[in-house]
């Protein structure tokens, strides 16, 4: 009996000895998992902190500074500086953001420069900020192997850069189904610029019908529904699962709307033929019937009411911007151009609203649908920018010098043919400066 108990004790001891490396291995897996989680969090915090610093720098530039070190408090640190050493104002915003996300200022370093870092696209960079985080990660089980902690490092570089290229069709919504939707007999092709869909939905890009879609690049954060259909030709095959593309127009400052109203609830119908001057149009502009409206060069502030055209109307304007906004007295309405509208409009080629044709207030209420459709002539030169609301665009537009950036974008119909080339014409659309991650 004593011999049996002794054997059992020995067996238990052997099992315990055998479990030691297993427990150490499991502990290492737990510690590595926690370190990976910390690294992921540190990377996200570094990215957002770098973007915050660059955006602060861009705000200073909008107020009159230049992208030069020391200009109007635009700070540069040529080597990494700890956040505890009171860095320049715009870099302090990066430090504060990292701290707000749980990282000690003693573990965060910042530096910035106007000399482009060695990355792809560096010639477009105006100013950049790097954020580095080194976070000691205590080991729970690793101490048995002699390790007390594991240092986790993460960094990110954001820049004020010309981000218009490579994308000229961008659907900004991060979760919508059918964020970019092509339905019917549709041809959509871009020249010298890509297509980006930021939604993480399984049907972020949706194609149905006889579809031809081509671009130098097609990037989708989520997935494409219908891309393998029998009558669908998408080239190249979309790259899916990518990070959302930046808004290429987010760096364009919104115009300051003048006080008061130059016109209220302006409406034209019948066979009217009129010419309008730039100004503040409270209640918007409505055109119907066979009316023809010529817009003289300048900015048209649509304070509520939007821009509406239907029937056999004609809208003509050169060097114009339609800024669609609202206030407490005049409710927001989208742009709606439907029917057999003849549209011949172009954006300014200079000034603060250079290349901006339709510009939606970034604070506009969401849930609206902007529509540009018709069977008549469509000649558009400039950016169509609806960051808060949907855009539906149908018709025939060949070699249009434009950019389409909207919350969601859809095309449909039996004969929609859109060829988009920002470099078409004598005055190609030039890149706008915006904040973007480059590393």
How far apart CA 81 and CA 32 sit, in angstroms, is: 29
pLDDT band at 431 (very low <50, low <70, confident <90, very high): low
Instruction: Say what the pLDDT of residue 222 is.
Output: 94
How far apart CA 177 and CA 238 sit, in angstroms, is: 16
Per-residue pLDDT of 59-112, as tens digits, reads 777 666 677 776 656 777 778 888 888 787 778 888 888 888 888 888 887 887
Which residue in the block uniquely carries the two structure tokens 């130098």?
Answer: 216
Per-residue pLDDT of 16-52, as tens digits, reads 555 555 555 555 555 555 666 677 888 888 888 888 8
pLDDT, mean over the chain: 82
Per-residue pLDDT of 189-229, as tens digits, reads 988 888 999 999 999 999 999 999 999 889 999 999 998 88
Pairing of strands 320-325, 409-420: unpaired
Instruction: Say what the pLDDT of residue 345 is.
Output: 93
Q: Which of 22-36, 320-334, 412-426 has the lowest mean pLDDT?
A: 22-36
23, 145 in Cβ contact below 8 A? no
Burial code (b: 16+ CB inside 10 Å, e: under 16) for 282-307 equals bbbbbbbeebbbebeebbbbbbbbbb
Rg (the chain; Cα; Å): 28
Q: pTM of the entire structure?
A: 0.69
How far apart CA 140 and CA 336 sit, in angstroms, is: 61
Distance of CA 220 to the CA centre of its chain: 12
Each domain of the chain, given as residue ranges in start order, spans 2-162, 167-428
């Amino acid at each position: 009996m004593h011999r049996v108990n002794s054997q059992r004790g020995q067996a238990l001891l052997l099992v315990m000895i055998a479990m030691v490396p297993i427990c150490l291995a499991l502990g290492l897996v737990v510690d590595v998992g926690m370190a990976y989680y910390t690294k992921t969090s540190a990377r996200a915090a570094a990215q957002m902190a770098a973007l915050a610093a660059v955006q602060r720098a861009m705000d200073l530039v909008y107020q009159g500074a230049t992208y030069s070190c020391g200009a109007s408090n635009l700070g540069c640190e040529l080597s990494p500086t700890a956040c505890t050493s009171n860095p320049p104002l715009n870099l302090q915003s990066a430090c504060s953001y990292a701290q707000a996300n749980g990282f000690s200022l003693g573990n965060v370093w910042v530096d910035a420069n106007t000399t482009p870092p060695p990355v792809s696209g560096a010639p477009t960079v105006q100013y950049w900020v790097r954020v580095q985080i080194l976070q000691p990660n205590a080991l729970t089980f690793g101490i048995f192997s002699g390790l007390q902690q594991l240092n986790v490092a993460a960094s990110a570089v954001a820049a004020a850069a010309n981000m218009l290229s490579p994308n000229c069709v961008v659907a900004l919504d991060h979760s919508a189904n059918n964020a970019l939707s092509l339905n019917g007999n549709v041809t959509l092709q871009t020249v010298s610029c890509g297509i980006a869909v930021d939604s993480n939905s399984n049907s972020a890009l949706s194609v149905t019908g006889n579809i031809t879609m081509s671009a130098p690049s097609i990037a989708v954060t989520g997935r494409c529904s219908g891309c393998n259909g029998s009558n669908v030709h998408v080239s190249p095959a979309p790259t899916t699962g990518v990070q959302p593309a930046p808004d290429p127009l987010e760096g364009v400052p919104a115009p300051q709307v003048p006080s008061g109203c130059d016109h209220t609830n302006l409406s034209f119908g019948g066979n009217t033929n009129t010419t309008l001057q730039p100004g503040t149009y409270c209640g918007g502009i409505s055109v119907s019937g066979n009316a023809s409206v010529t817009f003289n060069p300048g900015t048209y502030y649509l304070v509520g009411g939007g821009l509406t055209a239907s029937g056999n109307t004609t809208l003509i304007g050169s060097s114009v911007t339609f800024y669609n906004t609202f206030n407490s007295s005049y409710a927001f309405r989208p742009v709606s151009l439907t029917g057999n509208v003849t549209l011949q409009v172009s954006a300014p080629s200079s000034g603060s609203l250079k290349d901006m044709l339709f510009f939606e207030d970034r604070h506009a209420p969401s849930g609206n649908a902007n529509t540009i459709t018709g069977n008549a002539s469509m000649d558009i030169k400039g950016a169509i920018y609806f960051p808060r609301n949907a855009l539906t665009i149908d018709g025939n537009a060949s070699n249009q010098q434009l950019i389409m950036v909207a919350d969601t974008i859809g095309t449909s119909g039996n004969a929609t043919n859109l060829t988009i080339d920002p470099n078409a014409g004598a005055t190609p659309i030039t890149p706008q400066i915006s904040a973007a991650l480059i590393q």
